[in-house]
Structure 1
Amino acid sequence: MVLPHASLPPRRPGHHAAARADDDAAHRRPGAAQRPAAALLVLHTIGAKSGQERDTTLMYCPEPDGRMLVTGSNFARGSHPAWTANLLRNPDAAVSVLGRRIPVHAVPIGDDEREAVWRELEEHWPGYRGYERASGRVLRIFRLTPVS
């Protein structure tokens, strides 16, 4: 599922580059080479240290069964993004997609399926695994499963 440009919230300080890139893509000149817009969600977690709700805009890879994959690339920085620690501590979270808030349960991708998941991610974003090589760490990948 790809979020249409019109559904993006207004920009605010600290708004993630993925959302800015999607917004900027809508303003490219006609005829310019374009990739499909990234699927975006807002992840609502409980802070691992603070206990406060935290919101993070992320690209996600939709799976056919309604689950979603999110990757803690942190723009290839050497440290894991805080939202990944939040999910490790509190795996029950929520996402907002197309204006709808959906409760989810997050499970880290294990070594047994890591390669298959990377193949799936790179089908959506060729070269994305380069972030893992550039960061010098194993990126945390989570599968978000909607719960009722």
Structure 2
Amino acid sequence: MRTDGDANWFQRAMQRWSTTPPAEWMNTRVPWHRVDRLVYRVTKGRATLTGPMSGRATVMLTTTGARTGEPRTCPMLGLPDGDRVVVIASNYGRPGNPAWYHNLRAHPSATLVVPPHAPRRVRAREVEGAERDRLWALAVCTYPPWEHYVDRVAGRRIPVMVLEPDDPAPS
């Protein structure tokens, strides 16, 4: 498990900064997912902006739009948990859940890219109880700002989603 102690001095500074009022103000106004998608596209899938800044792996998740049915790709921090990937619907500490969360609730089947690997099909499920508690502890240990986001989400419980391999059914 990668912990906050694995981050370099710049990444730890960025993590601390992300919990400050100026960062909160900026995070509510800058569409970071669009910046990350642009950097990802320009670097031909080799990099994002938030990955190196946070010191964590950025994954690209393609969901099906809950209302539109159109594919939507969003970069986010992904936490490995065996053959699964855990994603946290923190929405940068904003009051509402991110769009990708609503998309996964409506259409749990998605495509995940964990660079430099090929895309793979996954099935999402929201975890609760002891499993959620364990994965939330893993998440906070890996990226401490998530704990601070709890104070900013106006009473919303931050969802924890597990992306499991979606193996096709045998024919």
TM-score range, shorter chain: 0.7 to 0.9
Change beyond 3 A, Cα 1:96–1:13: closer
Gaps of 5+ in 1: 3-11, 26-34
Alpha-carbon distance in 2 for matches of 1:13, 1:133: 22
Gaps of 5+ in 2: 3-31, 38-47
Work out whether 1:140 is the aligned partner of 2:169: no
Which letter does structure 2 place at the counterpart of 1:39? Answer: A
**Partner SS, residue 119 of structure 2:** strand
**Partner SS, residue 34 of structure 2:** coil
Alpha-carbon distance in 2 for matches of 1:20, 1:40: 9
- 1:29-40 equivalence runs, <5 A: 37-40=55-58
TM-score, normalised by the number of residues in structure 2 = 0.66
Alpha-carbon distance in 2 for matches of 1:48, 1:108: 16
**Partner SS, residue 152 of structure 2:** helix
Which letter does structure 2 place at the counterpart of 1:113? Answer: E
TM-score, normalised by the number of residues in structure 1 = 0.76
Q: How big is the shift at 1:127?
A: 4.1
Change beyond 3 A, Cα 1:123–1:13: closer
Greater percentage in strand: 1
Give the counterpart of 2:50 among 15, 21, 24: 21
Q: Percent identity?
A: 25
- 1:1-148 equivalence runs, <5 A: 14-16=34-36, 19-23=48-52, 25=53, 37-63=55-81, 65-99=82-116, 100-136=118-154, 137-148=156-167
Alpha-carbon distance in 1 for matches of 2:143, 2:33: 26
Aligned length: 126
1:20-69 CA distance string (max 9 Å, x none):
2335x4xxxxxxxxx7x211110000000000000000001111x21010
Alpha-carbon distance in 1 for matches of 2:91, 2:106: 18
Change beyond 3 A, Cα 1:66–1:88: same
